[in-house]
A and B are shown apart, each in its own frame.
Chain A
Amino acid sequence: MTATSAAHPSGSTGEVAPQRLALVDLLDRVLATGVVVSGEVILSIADVDLVHVSLQALISSVRVDGDRPWPAVAGPTQSAHQPEER
């Protein structure tokens, strides 16, 4: 078993800059994928729909009434340069 199994293959994949992971890409993965073993779990947001719906509802409400409770979430390249200074 090689310890490098999940590690970085040879580094000439130039597209993958060592910048901050985009939140959306992360959410695609941590919210909707991965092992789900419930039963006697205190909590499992395995029914992720709840989060999605809440988030979606929040976003939709932002869109309709024009109020932005937070600054527009920057795209992947921008977030690399801006620390949390909201």
Chain B
Amino acid sequence: MAEELGVWAYAITTFRSEPKDVAGVTGVDHEPVRTVEMAGLVAVVGTVHLDEFGEEPLRRKLDDLDSLEAIARAHHEVVAFAARRAPAVPMRLATVYRDDARVAAVLAERHDDLLLALKQIAGRTEWGVKAYAANAANATAAAGQAEADASSTRPGTAYLLRRRTQLSAGENARHEAAESARDVHETLSGLAVAARLHAPQDPQLTGEAGWMVLNGAYLVEDAAAERFAAKVRALRDRHTALRLELTGPWPAYSFSAIFSAIEDKEPSA
């Protein structure tokens, strides 16, 4: 029985590679990465075995954190490879086509949209900025300490008053953190061509105890990257209640939605 194969898509670019350019680059199924060209567009792809990467087996793999990680990293490696050489629009994880002909057909069908998407990211890089509210717990504890010497003749009352101070200190800290996060996002958005908010990350995945108040992605002109990084540093100094983390450079994952005139989709966030 012939083994069933599919074509995993990594990214779309205009950069036409020589075979030697992609030699040694492997993908999610450890397959050699190659390209499919059509109408001036180049899809970066790899042939995968459907018994491992077909619908059912893949869903199972993606449900397991270890294999999800392996696949996500392998996918990203290829996307990053493509994006290093030329503007590349990343494909969402787990887009598997039947064959090269179907890939070529997609390039032809969505040609204008894809070119537009590429134009929007050319000469630009995505950076991520995350912010954690560092001190909410400290504020609460500090407030508690301050009240600790309260009257011992009425310990129950003292307790309640202490709790009230702690709770409002906590609320104030949270409010300040949210305001700071908003300032950070607005400031950085001003330096970027486009900005997007991702959902706060699950603490169980991040292992972070702090409260994530910002998970932003910013598309920045390469010429402005230094200024952007400097602004992150300045914001870090300005907002001492936050812990800021800069990640990147990323391929323009968060800014690669493509739109179809026919379907009339709204840009995502």
Contact = CB atoms under 8 A, between A and B. Distances in A.
Would you call the interface of chain A mostly helix, strand, loop, or mixed? loop
A2 B85 CA distance: 8
Contacts of B215: 28
B207 A78 contact: yes
A33 B254 contact: yes
A63 B204 contact: yes
Contacts of A86: 66
Given A13-B229, A16-B249, A26-B72, A31 B66 contact: no
Interface residues of A, number: 58
Interface in A59-74: 59, 62-63, 70, 72-74
Interface residues of B, number: 77
Query: Which of A6, A33, A45 has the most C-beta atoms of chain B within 10 angstroms of its own C-beta?
Result: A6
Contacts of A26: 72-73, 76
Contact of A6 (B59, B207, B252): B252
B45 interface: no
For A4, A26, A42, the residue with the greatest tally of chain B CB atoms inside 10 Å of its CB is A42
Instruction: Please classify the interface of chain B as helix (H, G, I), strand (E, B), loop, or mixed, using the class held by over half of its residues.
Output: mixed
B185 interface: no
A45 B75 CA distance: 14
Nearest to A6: B83
A80 interface: no
Interface in B2-16: 6, 12
15 contacts: A6-B121, A6-B125, A15-B229, A29-B76, A34-B92, A34-B93, A35-B89, A36-B95, A37-B110, A40-B97, A42-B54, A43-B55, A44-B95, A59-B202, A75-B208
Interface of B: 6, 12, 50, 54-55, 58-59, 62-63, 65-66, 68-69, 72-73, 75-76, 79, 83-98, 102, 106, 110, 114, 117, 121-125, 128, 130, 198-199, 201-202, 204-208, 215, 217, 222, 225-226, 229, 232-233, 245-254, 256-258, 268
